[in-house]
Amino acid sequence: MEGNSTAGSFSPSQQFSVADLVVIVTYFSLNLAVGIWSSCRVNRNTVSGYFLAGRDMAWWPIGASLFASSEGSGLFIGLAGTGAAGGIAVTGFEWNVRNLCHPLLQIVTMPEYLQRRFGGERIRMYLSGLSLLLSIFTKISTDLYSGALFVQVCLGWDLYLSTVLMLLVTGLYTIAGGLAAVIYTDALQTVIMVLGAIMLAVRAFDAIGGYSNLEEAYLKAVPSKIVPNTTCHLPRADAMHLFRDPISGDLPWTGMTFGLSIMATWYWCTDQVIVQRSLSARNLSHAKAGSILASYLKMLPLFVIIMPGMISRVLFPDAVACVDPEECTHVCGAAVGCSNIAYPKLVVELMPSGLRGLMIAVMMAALMSSLTSIFNSCSTLFTMDIWRRMRPGASERELLLVGRVMTVLLVALSVVWIPILQSSSGGQLYIYIQAVTSYLAPPVTAVFILAVFWPRANEQGAFWGLMAGLALGLARMGLELAHPTPHCGVPDRRPWLLADLHYLHFAALLCATTGAVVVGGSLMTPPPPSERLQNHTWWSLSLEPPQHHMDDTSRRCLNGECVLGVPSTGVSPALYLYAPSLQHGCPVPQFPLGLLSLQSLSVCARLLPSYTTESPFWTRVCSINAIVLLCINIFCYAYFA
């Protein structure tokens, strides 16, 4: 094993061969072909076609896209880095999947659901804005940074030059193709990611003599240059355990059980990137099957990303496990640590020519999958929940143009944020992502759960609960930015709220506090009208078409009484496309709305039950697979606990 390698000990450009270049060019050509083909399958000049892929997606591309979107380059880099720094406990973030949370296929965004549930505009506008901020802070910027870091380590290119080049590649077909291009290219990239990651994992385990030697070798992976009188250079003794001490653990089991469950519920049930894929399904069975496929795939990262990250520390402790600030700055440009280079370092040192190019393609695939998904979902949120409210008479052409322009603005803001995240959370990218999420997402989880399961919750309680949660979350986030994690050997003088209250514990407390405010506010104000609850809570679901919606247009469409053109309320004709009955088997995705007859709309409205009713056979198949998946999950938790 090499004990003195550093990121500066090799010349990336010399190792980048013609075979690598051929593989990368072949990959991008295939990716472009799939993107063009998939874009032509739906009409991208309609809101439904562009933002929801015509709502005609099968289960397998949905499942692949869910996995690829949640496993972007930020997680490849971040999971491997956190695995190198602390062991396998971070696996809990991958296995805590709440991916069967979308029984309603009648919406475009989750803020739209909460508006229908509670009424009013302010909750929907706030949640859309919050989702955009979370995308900038925890998704786009982290994926850009991690992808650029990978290219920098592998090819020796400048970090920001790499960022710009990747943006050009990912932005072009996202802006042009819409969700259909994103989902089908995600399916291709999932295959490439899984195969490439498995190849690298096999070579990594072979380099240390197999899985049986991992724990012993990891505990000996100490850098040669340490900070005297400290222990931060030592690997964690509990590196091979999922459940860790609730007080001294870096990922305490109490936080992983309660706090992480709250964050997972937010991500898998309310985050627009995930929800949008389930909403693009052609029916409920395909949405469920896609979720189950993604959940199966989420069992893989421990073995193909996290453990290889630990092996990278074993093979290259001076680079990956550096603790001296000067040494770390020399190795990776970040004084707080270099664990983020664990995965790209492994690729450069272990993979032969050709396969190295494949792994670069894998990382680019992960980056593109994540970024294109986020770009499309964020533009959907801004266009449908914010811009449409500001300009209710906006034409469909205007909505599509605004969605594409919004993508460009999000990218610009994310690039500005990169220097801040580079030195956050002790240099561990994945921990930074989860910490910021724990400050902002739990209030949304609390409101969502109460909206679905507690009919008494009303708009006033929900709004002020969100505001209280936001204030507390921003206070914690502000302290985090003002008092970053101290370097190795520097006394921790951060406020108690940071030093002694783990961010996962904070997430649980924040969710509970928000829920208390929602309950108290709702009980002190009038209950919501009964018509708002129909089909919008767990207790009021039915298979009948909803008879009332928040906007006059949807109500008329569902009753077969649509008036062609702009309604008296000033709502755009594009809103007709949100009637769920018009998304499946009806001619809306192929023709402008004005060409539809009243008779066509009436026929479409009567077809709604077929899209929410499941075949008994496929219901059993999904249920059996869900049980099998649960058993596998429980076994793995017990084995690595």
> In the chain, what percentage of residues exceed pLDDT 90?
23
pLDDT tier, 564 (very low <50, low <70, confident <90, very high otherwise): very low
Spatial CB neighbours of 233, under 8 Å, sequence gap ≥ 6: 222, 223, 226, 227, 321, 323, 488
pLDDT higher than 80, residue 291: yes
- 159-207 helix and 355-381 helix, angle to the nearest 10 degrees: 130
Tokens 């999000």, located at residue? 410
What pLDDT sits at residue 546? 42
Q: Report how far Cα 140 is from the mean position of its chain's Cα atoms.
A: 10
What pLDDT sits at residue 368? 67
Least confident of 51-60, 148-157, 516-525, 631-640: 51-60
Tens of pLDDT along 184-227?
777 777 888 888 889 999 999 999 999 999 999 999 999 999 88
What pLDDT sits at residue 353? 82
Tens of pLDDT along 312-330?
999 999 999 998 888 888 8
Spatial CB neighbours of 348, under 8 Å, sequence gap ≥ 6: 10, 12, 15, 153, 154, 356
Better pLDDT: 225 or 428: 225
User: Residue 341 carries which DSSP code?
Assistant: G
Cβ 66 vs Cβ 281: under 8 Å? no
pLDDT tier, 63 (very low <50, low <70, confident <90, very high otherwise): confident
Distance CA(191)–CA(30), nearest Å, equals 13
pLDDT higher than 50, residue 506: yes
Cβ 221 vs Cβ 317: under 8 Å? yes
What pLDDT sits at residue 147? 75
Query: Among the ranges 8-17, 273-282, 337-346, which has the highest mean pLDDT value?
Result: 337-346
What pLDDT sits at residue 335? 79
Least confident of 155-169, 174-188, 196-210, 562-576: 562-576
What pLDDT sits at residue 176? 52
What pLDDT sits at residue 471? 96
Identify the three-state secondary structure at position 281.
strand
**Residue whose C-alpha is closest to residue 311's, from 425, 197, 190:** 197
Spatial CB neighbours of 89, under 8 Å, sequence gap ≥ 6: 238, 241, 242, 243, 244, 249, 250, 251, 256
What pLDDT sits at residue 179? 52
Spatial CB neighbours of 10, under 8 Å, sequence gap ≥ 6: 348, 349
**Residue whose C-alpha is closest to residue 608's, from 531, 563, 554:** 554
What CATH number should be reported for the domain whose range is 12-531+614-640?
A: 1.20.1730.10
What pLDDT sits at residue 370? 67
Q: Which two tokens stand for residue 97?
A: 């999947």
- Phi first, then psi: give them for residue 279, nearest 5 degrees: -70, -20
Q: Which two tokens stand for residue 569?
A: 């309320």
Amino acid of residue 618: W
Distance CA(3)–CA(266), nearest Å, equals 42
User: Residue 550 carries which DSSP code?
Assistant: S
What pLDDT sits at residue 442? 95
What pLDDT sits at residue 582? 35
Q: Considering the chain, what is the average pLDDT of its residues?
A: 76
pLDDT higher than 50, residue 612: yes
Tens of pLDDT along 621-638?
888 998 998 899 889 989
pLDDT higher than 80, residue 615: no
Cβ 88 vs Cβ 236: under 8 Å? no
pLDDT higher than 50, residue 304: yes
What pLDDT sits at residue 136? 77
Q: Which sign, positive or negative, has the C-alpha torsion 299, 305, 306, 310?
A: positive
Q: What is the mean pLDDT of residues 451-479?
A: 94
Distance CA(67)–CA(370), nearest Å, equals 10
> How many of the other CB atoms lie within 10 Å of CB of 391?
14
Q: Where are the domains of the chain?
A: 12-531+614-640, 544-612
Tens of pLDDT along 529-547?
888 887 788 887 654 444 4
pLDDT tier, 548 (very low <50, low <70, confident <90, very high otherwise): very low
Spatial CB neighbours of 363, under 8 Å, sequence gap ≥ 6: 73, 76, 147, 150, 151, 343, 344, 347
Cβ 257 vs Cβ 264: under 8 Å? no
